[in-house]
Amino acid sequence: MKKLRFGAVAFVTALLIAGCGEKKKEEQTQSDQSSAPAASAPASTDNQQAAATPSSSGNGEQKLNVYNWSDYIGEHTVEDFEKASGIKVQYDVYDSNEALEAKLMAGNTGYDIVVPTGPFLGRQINAGIYQKIDKTKLKNYGNLDPLILQAEAAFDPGNNYAVPYFWGTVGIGINVDKVKQRLGDNAPVDSLDLLLKPEYADKLKDCGVTMLDSPSDIFPLIFNYLGKDPHTTSPDDFAAAQKVMQGIRPDIKYFHSSSYINDLANGEVCAVLGWSGDVFIAASRAADAKNGNNIEYHIPKEGSLLWVDNLAIPKDAQHVDNALKFIDNLLDPKVAAAGVNFVTYPSSVKLELMPDVSPDIAKNPGIYPTDDVKKKLFPDKIVDAETERLRTRTWTTIKTGQ
Ligand code: N2P
């Protein structure tokens, strides 16, 4: 398989110390956490969240407006922080870097904290939309894994503008019984063949195949699968990826980046290309519901993308001190461990500082990949504007089934 480039080696090496499993959690209802006042700027929520317009008035206000990925924080983290700090948190969620970026570039979001993935963070830093993090106000900063900091420095030189949060991989989530019923016991469940080859995908169509609606996650995987540089910018390579996707497009029930969690848990879909922790959340929900759906996650044997999401403070944030308090709280080992146990993503806080992380999670190679698996992972990379346009155009063509 592929040539790991420079950064990749450093990045993967960087994460060799991290370790991880499977979990038990109740369904997250972050919408319940957002209470939200009224006022000026922000925004709405992109998904299932009740829209609200948080206030973003002046300094000293006991408020904080957070915009995070859905299913991406400990069950009680927000309410515990509110109780301890007296700060009222307006908490909204999204499930797409592209959607977040569009909002951020338009400006005046009213948000004090957002959580972009590495390459998006890098591009947004270059666009000048973030303020530097005052690390002197983060007493827990030293808890961060230095190798993850080093990896994120590829996007944020000096780690000046962001604090790494959770990280993970892109992989295959399956309903074991439904897939094996259709493809037999030797189904290639750890290979992208399962989803990208019509001979398999056609047979899974009736039980539901889905993919992330995230070109920045899917294209690198397909390029890598095809033996190309995961971050190729070649139009011919995009055409080749498009051809692969068009071959299985009729088998895809939908492209969406959060609905698949519950659909997988409930047996509405049987094979997904999704994010690691999200598939484990689906597994936990199915187990909690005792609905007989046995969900597994597999990092593709062909290799996968290892990504890191980062906490950042927009330049026009109105509650910077509160944002720093919230970020510092997320870096507290107990809070971070509760987050890991609930969302089943590895934290950027050093694992050895979090004895509260469930051993099932810490030892689960689908969550904390083993050293061998890490060798197959490659890092994210910023794409140039022209490639971004090509990527978006190709993705739209694929999704619309043209
Ligand atoms: C959380 C998904 C976050 C992963 N549900 C995207 N980087």
> Are 180 and 219 within one domain?
yes
Per-residue model confidence (pLDDT) at position 387:
97
Compute the distance from residue 348 Cα to the ligand 1 centre, in Å: 14
Residue 14's closest CA among 220, 122, 221, 154?
154
Per-residue model confidence (pLDDT) at position 255:
98
Q: What atom in ligand 1 is closest to the CA of residue 71?
A: 5
> Are 222 and 282 within one domain?
yes
Per-residue model confidence (pLDDT) at position 301:
97
Instruction: Domain of residue 57: give its range.
Output: 6-167+307-370
Choosing from 262, 309, 348 the residue with most ligand 1 atoms within 8 A of its CB, the one to mutate for a pocket test is 309
Residue 171's closest CA among 52, 275, 35?
275
Percent of the chain, pLDDT > 90? 84
- The alpha carbons of the chain give a radius of gyration, in whole angstroms, of 20
Regarding the beta carbon of 275 and ligand 1, being less than 6 Å apart is answered yes
Q: Could you tell me the pLDDT band of residue 60, with boundaries at 50, 70 and 90?
A: confident
Per-residue model confidence (pLDDT) at position 14:
55
Q: What atom in ligand 1 is closest to the CA of residue 278?
A: 5
State yes or no: pLDDT of 31 exceeds 80.
Answer: no
Determine, yes or no, domain membership for 194: yes
Of residues 173 and 401, more confidence is placed in 173
Determine, yes or no, domain membership for 239: yes
State yes or no: pLDDT of 295 exceeds 70.
Answer: yes
Distances in whole angstroms, Cα of residue 269 to Cα of each of 20, 272, 314, 380: 26, 8, 37, 28
Determine, yes or no, domain membership for 375: no
> Are 295 and 313 within one domain?
no
Give tens-digit pLDDT for 126-150.
999 999 999 999 999 999 999 999 9
Q: What atom in ligand 1 is closest to the CA of residue 117?
A: 7
> Are 217 and 69 within one domain?
no
Regarding the beta carbon of 46 and ligand 1, being less than 6 Å apart is answered no
Residue 164's closest CA among 334, 330, 364?
330
Determine, yes or no, domain membership for 259: yes
Regarding the beta carbon of 70 and ligand 1, being less than 6 Å apart is answered yes
State yes or no: pLDDT of 232 exceeds 60.
Answer: yes
Per-residue model confidence (pLDDT) at position 402:
73
Determine, yes or no, domain membership for 157: yes
Regarding the beta carbon of 166 and ligand 1, being less than 6 Å apart is answered no
Is-contact 208 300, C-beta < 8 A? no
Please count the other Cβ atoms lying within 10 Å of the Cβ belonging to residue 179: 22
Compute the distance from residue 212 Cα to the ligand 1 centre, in Å: 10
Per-residue model confidence (pLDDT) at position 43:
37
Per-residue model confidence (pLDDT) at position 125:
98
Q: How many domains are contained in the chain?
A: 2
Regarding the beta carbon of 72 and ligand 1, being less than 6 Å apart is answered yes
State yes or no: pLDDT of 90 exceeds 90.
Answer: yes
Nearest CA residue ID for atom 3, ligand 1: 69
Compute the distance from residue 331 Cα to the ligand 1 centre, in Å: 18
State yes or no: pLDDT of 46 exceeds 50.
Answer: no
**What is the pLDDT averaged over residues 264-291?**
98
Per-residue model confidence (pLDDT) at position 324:
98
- State the CATH number of the domain containing residue 191: 3.40.190.10
Q: What atom in ligand 1 is closest to the CA of residue 309?
A: 7
Q: Could you tell me the pLDDT band of residue 207, with boundaries at 50, 70 and 90?
A: very high
The phi-psi region of residue 108 (left if phi > 0; otherwise alpha if psi is between -120 and 50; otherwise beta) is left
Q: What is the mean pLDDT of the chain?
A: 88
Regarding the beta carbon of 302 and ligand 1, being less than 6 Å apart is answered no
The pair of structure tokens assigned to 258 is 């959060």
State yes or no: pLDDT of 39 exceeds 90.
Answer: no
Listing DSSP states for 23-90 in one string gives: ---PPP-HHHH------SS----SSSSPP-------TT-SEEEEEEESS-S-TTHHHHHHHHH--EEE
> Are 181 and 77 within one domain?
no
Q: Could you tell me the pLDDT band of residue 258, with boundaries at 50, 70 and 90?
A: very high
Phi, psi of 309 (to 5 degrees): -100, 150
> Are 263 and 357 within one domain?
no
What is the sign, positive or negative, of the torsion defined by CA atoms of 298, 303, 304, 306? positive
Rounded distance between C-alpha atoms, residue 155 and residue 163, angstroms: 12
Regarding the beta carbon of 307 and ligand 1, being less than 6 Å apart is answered yes
> Are 157 and 24 within one domain?
yes
Compute the distance from residue 105 Cα to the ligand 1 centre, in Å: 20
**Residue 243 burial (CB < 10 Å; 0-12/13-18/19+)?**
exposed
Per-residue model confidence (pLDDT) at position 264:
98
Give tens-digit pLDDT for 194-204.
999 999 999 99
Per-residue model confidence (pLDDT) at position 40:
36
Choosing from 30, 69, 165 the residue with most ligand 1 atoms within 8 A of its CB, the one to mutate for a pocket test is 69
Rounded distance between C-alpha atoms, residue 2 and residue 225, angstroms: 9
> Are 250 and 117 within one domain?
no
State yes or no: pLDDT of 327 exceeds 50.
Answer: yes
Choosing from 94, 117, 169, 275 the residue with most ligand 1 atoms within 8 A of its CB, the one to mutate for a pocket test is 275
> Are 209 and 274 within one domain?
yes
Is-contact 310 210, C-beta < 8 A? no
Residue with tokens 């109105």: 318
**What is the pLDDT averaged over residues 336-343?**
98
Is-contact 260 278, C-beta < 8 A? yes
Regarding the beta carbon of 71 and ligand 1, being less than 6 Å apart is answered yes
Cα angle, residue 318 at apex, residues 137 and 99 outer, rounded to 5°: 100
Helix (H, G, I), strand (E, B) or coil at 161: coil
Determine, yes or no, domain membership for 1: no
Distances in whole angstroms, Cα of residue 331 to Cα of each of 7, 232, 257, 325, 339: 25, 35, 26, 10, 10
Distances in whole angstroms, Cα of residue 252 to Cα of each of 209, 274, 351: 5, 13, 37
Regarding the beta carbon of 278 and ligand 1, being less than 6 Å apart is answered yes
Q: What atom in ligand 1 is closest to the CA of residue 261?
A: 5
Give tens-digit pLDDT for 4-28.
333 444 545 454 333 232 233 333 3
Residue with tokens 């870097």: 97
Is-contact 220 376, C-beta < 8 A? no
Compute the distance from residue 58 Cα to the ligand 1 centre, in Å: 31
**Residue 198 burial (CB < 10 Å; 0-12/13-18/19+)?**
middle
Q: Could you tell me the pLDDT band of residue 317, with boundaries at 50, 70 and 90?
A: very high
Regarding the beta carbon of 260 and ligand 1, being less than 6 Å apart is answered no
Determine, yes or no, domain membership for 193: yes
State yes or no: pLDDT of 257 exceeds 80.
Answer: yes
> Are 162 and 177 within one domain?
no
Regarding the beta carbon of 69 and ligand 1, being less than 6 Å apart is answered yes
Compute the distance from residue 163 Cα to the ligand 1 centre, in Å: 16
Per-residue model confidence (pLDDT) at position 50:
32
> Are 295 and 314 within one domain?
no
- Say how far residue 360 (Cα) sits from the centre of its chain: 21
Phi, psi of 13 (to 5 degrees): -55, -45
Compute the distance from residue 237 Cα to the ligand 1 centre, in Å: 26
> Are 221 and 314 within one domain?
no
Residue 182's closest CA among 160, 158, 207, 213?
207
